[in-house]
Structure 1
Amino acid sequence: MAQTDSTQTTAGKQPADKKPSRKYAEKISARQRIQEAQRLERLAAQRRRRIVVAVSVVAVLALAGGTTLAISAAGDGKPSADSAAGEPTALVVPANATGPDGTVITYGKADAPHTLQVFEDFRCPVCKTFESTNGETVKKLTDDGTVKVEYHLAAFLDKNLGGKGSRTALAAVGAALNEGVDKFKQYHDVLYANQPDEREDGFGSVNHLLDLAEQVPGLKTDAFVKAVTERTYAPWAAKVAEAFNSSGVTGTPTVKLDDKPITLFSANRPVTPEQFTAQVKQAAGLQ
């Protein structure tokens, strides 16, 4: 319909036959500044989400495909020069460590006939899903002597997501292992039960890790506190992470029984404890 008043304006527009006023120009300038600030904030938000979205997509694909790959080990897991500054350089291997160069943690009866290999990163959210669903099942199979567990721990998510939580938690776990294998296992379970959002670097705080250690009776000794505070086992944690990177495993969580892969997810959800147990027993030739 034809416009009846040639001087009528729409919201935010200046009549074409009039020179813009200073007030109007300032209003437009202010609006442009706001729009530019909003644009920059959107770009920043997209950058912040990019890694998280990539991690989530990989996790969803893992669930859909029923594969053990949950978080891809795209990084090399090695600390940057900045993050390594001020850390001890002398390699101290905690008591009770096993495997080549003490890079494996073995939990269970030494004479157990089968070995369950568990590959995890403490910042991996899908590892937490595995632990919350089947962690108790793993413990039961270990306690009854069916298997012993070898933990192969990673730290690649520090590079993929930024921060130092995986390495700091791994070094703290070394201090727990030095106190005893049972202390390690209890602390391992506490860390997964209290895992922060992967976008946050909650395990990068030594004080937070020490607070969580209070949930393990008898763990928080003077020696443990000193080792965690001074990051005594940081060089060992780096060796453990390097061993994971050389293992051929491309993501976490991955679980194998005597080198035979165990499926952790099926039909878009974690396998049940019954399904997990059946797989382990089948791989072990027990059924």
Structure 2
Amino acid sequence: MAQDKNKKRVSARERIQEAQRREQQAARRRQRIVVSVSAVVVLALAGGVALAINTGSKNDDKGAAAASAAPLVVPANATGPDGTVITYGKADAPHTMEVYEDFRCPVCKHFEAANGQTVKEITQDGQIKVEYHLAAFLDKNLGGKGSRTALAAAGAALNEGVDKFKAFHDVLYANQPDEREDGFGDVNHLLDLAGQVPGLKTDAFVKAVTDRTYAPWAAKVADAFNSSQVTGTPTVKVDGKPINLFTGNAPASPEQFTAQVKQVAGLQ
């Protein structure tokens, strides 16, 4: 009996040690991911490359799979195949600017801080429309659910209006948490941020965010990004041609960005 008890104690201790070993390995993997992403941030700002590299695959986590199984509700004002695109500006504008982003992407924040207002202004003469293609692969790369939760909330904003979506989009980037944190995974935090957009927090919006009504749509949008062959964010194209978002070690200035866009679109 004593030997059996000793064996049980040893077995329990071994199980605990094995669990601790696995957790340490997982922690080291998470640390390597964070260090890699932070290193790419430096490279992105120094060399003008896109920050976030899509190393995930379609529906490769449980959250995305669960969202895919729920009823699909497409927000009003969604455009493109299966409603997976958000078009800002005049729908029949002769030129198109495609913007590929992930709400958790730090260099997307740098781009938005430098040229988010410029993107808006470029649409005002009706010559260029903007098509947003949004991703959620940083949830897979970094862990958490902030990208897809923010994307679902953006769907609720889109349902309220394209201008509401753009304003909420801008607020999210202005208040983006550190990439090592998953602040956008908290719907209450997203609702607090939505309060910065006048008229956005209707009862319908709050319910849609709280109930994750547009989570299945967000999964479809993320899948569409994964199928786009665009491998990094931020990426901007005008009429299918890429725009250089960084010059030297800094984001392109509004003047530099605008000049590139107009040159590619033949508007100079």
Judge same fold: TM > 0.5, yes or no.
yes
Structure 1: state its 5+ residue gaps: 1-40
Classify 1:220/1:66 alpha carbon distance in 2 versus 1 (closer, same or farther; 3 Å): same
User: 1:56 is aligned with what amino acid?
Assistant: S
2:204 equivalent to 1:212: no
Q: Determine which of 128, 132, 137 is the counterpart of 1:156.
A: 137
* Shift in Å, 1:183: 0.6
Task: Read off the aligned partner of 2:181 and give its amino acid letter.
Answer: E
Q: Could you tell me which residue of structure 2 aligns to residue 108 of structure 1?
A: 89
Tell me, yes or no, if structure 1 residue 64 matches structure 2 residue 46.
Answer: yes
1:50 aligned residue (3, 9, 32) = 32
Distance, in Å, in 2 between the alignment partners of 1:58 and 1:86 is: 30
Q: Distance in 2 between matches of 1:222 and 1:87?
A: 25
TM-score, normalised on structure 2?
0.86
Give the superposition deviation at 1:52: 1.4
Range with greater deviation from structure 2 (97-106 or 134-143):
134-143
8 Å CA contact retained: 1:88, 1:234: no
Change (3 A) 1:218 1:56: same
Contact 2:68-2:219 at 8 Å conserved across structures? no
Aligned-residue CA RMSD in angstroms?
2.1
Contact 2:67 2:216 in 1 (8 A): no
CA separation in 1, counterparts of 2:148 and 2:110? 20
State the identity %: 77
Please state how far the C-alpha of 1:138 moved relative to its aligned partner. Answer: 0.6
Give, as a single letter, the amino acid of the residue that structure 2 aligns with 1:63.
L
Q: Tell me which amino acid in the other structure corresponds to 1:114.
A: H
1:46: how far off? 4.8
Deviations 1:137-171 (A, max 9, x none): 11110123231100000000000000000000000
Equivalent position to 2:232, from 216, 239, 251: 251
Shift of 1:71: 1.0
Q: Which residue of 1 aligns with 2:71?
A: 90
What is residue 204 of structure 2 aligned with on the other side? Answer: 223
Which residue type is aligned with residue 219 of structure 2? A
In 2: Cα distance, 1:224 partner to 1:252 partner: 27
Moved more, 260-269 or 56-65: 56-65
Give the aligned partner of residue 74 of structure 1: 55
Q: Does structure 1 residue 272 correspond to structure 2 residue 253?
A: yes
Flag the structure with higher helix content. 2
Compared CA separation, residues 84 and 142, structure 1 to 2 (3 A)? same
Query: What residue ranges of structure 2 are gaps of 5+ in the alignment?
Result: 1-22
CA–CA separation in structure 2 for the residues paired with 1:86 and 1:257: 32
- Give the match for residue 8 of structure 2: none
How far is 1:80 from its partner? 2.2
Structure-1 residue corresponding to 2:120? 139
